[in-house]
Amino acid sequence: MTSSLKYLWQMSALRQAFALTLVFLGVLVATGFLADVSIRANLNQTIDNNLLTKFNQIKADLAKGVSYQSIAGSYQSESEHFSLDEFVSFKSDSGKIYGYPIPDVYGKTGFINLAPYYFHEEDEEETEEHAETETSWRVYIGTIPGGRLAIGSSLRARNQLLNTLPYAFLFSGGVMMFITLSGGLWFGWRSQRRLSKITRALDQIAAGDLTTRIAPSSCRDDLDILSVKLDETTQRLSTTLQQVRDLSVNIAHDLKTPLTRLRAQLEQTQEQNQKGVSDAEGVAGALKKTDDLLEVFDALLRISRVQSGERKKQFQHIQLADLIHNVAEIYQAVVEETGRSFSVEIEEAGSISGDQVLLVQALANLIENALRHTPKEAEVTLFVSGNTIGLRDNGPGIPEAYYPRVVEPMYRMEQSRSTPGAGLGLALVKAIANLHQAELVLSSPTLGKGLSIQFVFHPPISEQLSTN
Amino acid sequence: MRILLLEDDVEIGTWVEDGLSKAGHVIDWVKDGHDAFLNATTRDYDVIVLDRMTPGLDGLSVLKALRSTKNAVPVLFLTALGSVEDRVEGLDAGGDDYLPKPFAFSELLARVSALGRRPSTNSSETISCLEVEKFQLNLLKQQCMRAGQPVPLNAKEFRLFETFIRNKGRVLTKNMLLEKVWDMNFDPTSSVVETHISRLRAKIEKPFDIELIRTIRGAGYILDD
């Protein structure tokens, strides 16, 4: 019970409705009070004015010579009824009373209130019915020629009106409260249902189920937009996590093989040692294998460092032609030494903001890849054209379907498993491209033959603006 | 040479101490940054080798404290933090060289030796002409002459030759050459260094039938005094 109450209380819409209702009630009470005061004053004023007018009228009539009796008689006829609304009562200087018999208040002057007072024939019994019709009176007393006149008006109508006023306010307030509270409950329940759907989904995601989606049926309001955003975030998280998982599995797999080889080598060396033969070659082999393993770790660390984006802080202005010349100076001899031909193409070279060291390394990786995967007589071309730099060869190339895969960390195509390397060269190139917000485009320069890998840099914002 | 080594890992410390001792150096090995600072300020060393991350005071703080006392002894950093940023930080703080772990011992030995024999003054920076054998390198004109005859070297070959002459008598490892000549702090799998050295040899040794640059297997290259 308390928990369901607590649950109700947690609905923000209901709480808002509740707060609004409270405010509304406060306003209602205040206006009710003000209305009561002003209406009461207004009614009293009207009654008093009425009484004064009548008093003056009678006074004038009397002055004209109309008798007490006839004036009293004109009221008397109505006095048969209990629901008498007005009365007149005279007391002559001689003490004789005409008209209505009322308690002896003739000595007073001006307006007075008379307590509930019921006039009845002496033989008539006071019944409950009478009591109900009892009413207070507003009375004006003044001097008239030859005596005193009291003229009264019933306050019944006024009191009835004033009594119904609070009920009217109470009723409208009640209806209002009912509508806002039930509305709040309804909206609260509705949004709570959607919120708990989101909460459940988040719980599942927190528990590790990244396939969970909130999938709102429509996109109307902020909650739907929030849901869509959450779904997108989950999707991205899921993709990233999958990549990380793939990567760690690949690392574990790919390192197992060289570690096994290393172990075998060491065991062999140990055996030789036990036989008393020193196996210098075995030790050198083991060292080489260890270095290869360390290189893999080094490459992985390099990639993650580049991915962290920290080096963006050190970006400098780079002339792409200089960059290409620099790399060509390092590698021309190296490539030619292997029997392949090396050439450089420079065409309207632009400039970018970037990290010289990393870009040299990226191009170096591309060249080393080409050296590894092309036949001895291949042609390797380093080129720059506008904001694009890259490397092209006329080797066997790779099928287009593999383009997206080969830049993934530790991905190696079956046929290249026999060549050394850990499949991290292109992943580093890709990371460096991403750091520079450059597109890494793989293509085949001559229909199905050869491979071209290029960085397409986007011109700096300032240049984009000036050309527009 | 007298060398101060700050290294908290016992296995690596023992390995480095043994190796350097066998190479004829005297080693003081401490495992705590405070001890390193104390030793460095109370004794004279030719080279100090500092591990970046050590208990007490870390290597970088030791170096900063040392340099603030106007102590100019050459310092080599050893570190598992191999990124360029760490390297720059270390060199900015007054370090003279930087060697990321893991490393081959020959690499450490070559770098320590290079640091130890570095001339105390930086006069070499202002020289405009270097000489070895009958070669003359004009650093301003980037020109190489031998006995009055020009020897055509391209920019990188010139820089490679210059680096050897400047480090005459010291072993230069592959990595040291990559850093000094090509500004590459990664190890290319292809034979960049070997290729360029053989091209340089073809220009400065073959025509004159001499041998200048010697290959030291498993260590690097040396231009003998």
Average pLDDT, stretch A375-383?
Answer: 91
Facing residue for A360 by CB, picked from B102, B184, B199: B184
DSSP string for A300-365 = HHHHHHHHTTGGGGG-EEEEHHHHHHHHHHHHHHHHHHTT-EEEEEEES--EEEE-HHHHHHHHHH
Task: Provide the pLDDT for residue A345.
Answer: 92
Whether residues A302 and B188 touch (CB distance < 8 A) is answered with no
Facing residue for B156 by CB, picked from A329, A360, A420: A329
Residue of B nearest to A328 (CA): B156
Identify the band that residue B121 occupies on the pLDDT scale cut at 50, 70 and 90: very low
pLDDT for residue A124 is more than 50:
no
| Contact residues on chain A for B155, CB-CB shorter than 8 A | 329
Q: For chain A, how long is the longest CA-to-CA vector?
A: 162
Nearest C-alpha of chain A: how many angstroms from B40? Answer: 33
Residue of A nearest to B81 (CA): A301
Identify the band that residue B14 occupies on the pLDDT scale cut at 50, 70 and 90: very high
Average pLDDT, stretch B97-105?
Answer: 85
Residue of B nearest to A367 (CA): B190
Please answer whether residues B38 and B71 qualify as being in contact, where contact means their C-beta atoms are separated by less than 8 angstroms: no
Task: Provide the pLDDT for residue A82.
Answer: 45
| Contact residues on chain B for A337, CB-CB shorter than 8 A | 191, 195
Q: Which residues contact B34 (CB under 8 A, 6 or more apart)?
A: B56, B57
Lowest mean pLDDT among A111-120, A211-220, A425-434: A111-120
| Contact residues on chain B for A357, CB-CB shorter than 8 A | 84, 183-185
Cα pseudo-dihedral A127, A131, A132, A138, rounded to 10: 140
Inform me whether the C-beta atom of residue B192 falls under 8 Å from chain A C-beta atoms: yes
pLDDT for residue B6 is more than 90:
yes
- Return the HEC string of A434-466: HHCCCEEEEECCECCECEEEEEECCCCHHHHHH
Nearest C-alpha of chain A: how many angstroms from B188? Answer: 8
Inform me whether the C-beta atom of residue B189 falls under 8 Å from chain A C-beta atoms: yes
Please answer whether residues B221 and B197 qualify as being in contact, where contact means their C-beta atoms are separated by less than 8 angstroms: yes
Whether residues B195 and A333 touch (CB distance < 8 A) is answered with yes
Interface test with B, best of A290, A329, A360, A372 (most B CBs within 10 A): A329
Identify the band that residue A149 occupies on the pLDDT scale cut at 50, 70 and 90: confident
Facing residue for A357 by CB, picked from B84, B191, B199: B84
Please answer whether residues B179 and A353 qualify as being in contact, where contact means their C-beta atoms are separated by less than 8 angstroms: no
Residue of A nearest to B184 (CA): A357
Question: Hey, which bits of A51-207 come out as E strands?
Answer: 86-92, 97-99, 110-114, 137-144, 147-154
pLDDT in tens, A288-329: 888 888 888 888 888 888 888 777 877 889 999 999 998 998
pLDDT for residue A382 is more than 90:
yes
The β-bridge partners of A453 are: A391, A442
Task: Provide the pLDDT for residue A294.
Answer: 84
Please answer whether residues B178 and B170 qualify as being in contact, where contact means their C-beta atoms are separated by less than 8 angstroms: no
Alpha carbons A147 and A190: distance in angstroms, whole number? 78
What token pair was written down for A136?
């207070």
Inform me whether the C-beta atom of residue B72 falls under 8 Å from chain A C-beta atoms: no
Cα B93 to Cα A238, B50, B96: the distances in Å are 42, 13, 9
Alpha carbons A388 and A457: distance in angstroms, whole number? 6
Whether residues B189 and A421 touch (CB distance < 8 A) is answered with yes
Inform me whether the C-beta atom of residue B83 falls under 8 Å from chain A C-beta atoms: yes
Whether residues B102 and A294 touch (CB distance < 8 A) is answered with yes
What token pair was written down for A400?
């287009």
Nearest to A340 by CA among A376, A381, A382: A376
pLDDT for residue A419 is more than 60:
no
Interface test with A, best of B179, B189, B196 (most A CBs within 10 A): B189
Q: Which residues contact A225 (CB under 8 A, 6 or more apart)?
A: A219
Q: For chain B, how long is the longest CA-to-CA vector?
A: 59
Residue of B nearest to A295 (CA): B187
Identify the band that residue B4 occupies on the pLDDT scale cut at 50, 70 and 90: very high
Alpha carbons A269 and A187: distance in angstroms, whole number? 78
Lowest mean pLDDT among A130-139, A201-210, A370-379, B104-113: A130-139
Nearest C-alpha of chain A: how many angstroms from B204? Answer: 17
The β-bridge partners of A256 are: none
Kindly report the pTM of this predicted structure: 0.61
| Contact residues on chain A for B184, CB-CB shorter than 8 A | 330, 357, 360-361, 364
Lowest mean pLDDT among A19-28, A457-466, B117-126: B117-126
Please answer whether residues A378 and A342 qualify as being in contact, where contact means their C-beta atoms are separated by less than 8 angstroms: no
Whether residues A361 and B184 touch (CB distance < 8 A) is answered with yes
Average pLDDT, stretch A72-100?
Answer: 71
Nearest C-alpha of chain B: how many angstroms from A435? Answer: 16
| Contact residues on chain B for A360, CB-CB shorter than 8 A | 183-184
Render the burial of B198-214: b for 16+ CB within 10 Å, e for the rest.
ebbeebbeeebeeebbe
Interface test with B, best of A311, A337, A371, A376 (most B CBs within 10 A): A337
**Residue B80 CA to chain centroid, in angstroms?**
18
Give the residue, A115 or B33, on which the prediction is more confident: B33
Q: Are strands B213-216 and B220-223 parallel, antiparallel or unpaired?
A: antiparallel
Alpha carbons B104 and B218: distance in angstroms, whole number? 9
CA angle (B51, B179, B211) in 5-degree steps: 115
Task: Provide the pLDDT for residue B115.
Answer: 86
pLDDT in tens, A16-59: 878 888 888 888 889 888 988 999 899 989 999 998 998 888 88
Radius of gyration of chain B (CA): 19
Alpha carbons B33 and B54: distance in angstroms, whole number? 6
What token pair was written down for A29?
């009470």
The β-bridge partners of A98 are: A90
The β-bridge partners of A138 are: A113, A153
**Count of CB pairs separated by less than 8 Å, A with B:** 47
CB atoms < 10 A from the CB of A95, how many? Answer: 8
Alpha carbons A247 and A66: distance in angstroms, whole number? 120
The β-bridge partners of A341 are: A379
Alpha carbons A228 and A230: distance in angstroms, whole number? 5
Task: Provide the pLDDT for residue A460.
Answer: 60
Please answer whether residues B180 and B158 qualify as being in contact, where contact means their C-beta atoms are separated by less than 8 angstroms: no
Inform me whether the C-beta atom of residue B182 falls under 8 Å from chain A C-beta atoms: yes
Question: Side-chain half-sphere of A4: how many Cα atoms within 13 Å?
Answer: 2
Q: Are strands A316-319 and A341-347 parallel, antiparallel or unpaired?
A: unpaired
Q: Which residues contact A33 (CB under 8 A, 6 or more apart)?
A: none
| Contact residues on chain B for A305, CB-CB shorter than 8 A | 83
Radius of gyration of chain A (CA): 52
Q: How many residues comprise chain A?
A: 468
Whether residues B85 and A311 touch (CB distance < 8 A) is answered with yes
Interface test with A, best of B101, B107, B185, B192 (most A CBs within 10 A): B192
Residue position matching structure tokens 């009710």: A32
- Helix, coil or strand: residue A236: helix
Whether residues B186 and A305 touch (CB distance < 8 A) is answered with no
Inform me whether the C-beta atom of residue B152 falls under 8 Å from chain A C-beta atoms: no
Average pLDDT, stretch A450-467?
Answer: 71
Identify the band that residue A84 occupies on the pLDDT scale cut at 50, 70 and 90: low
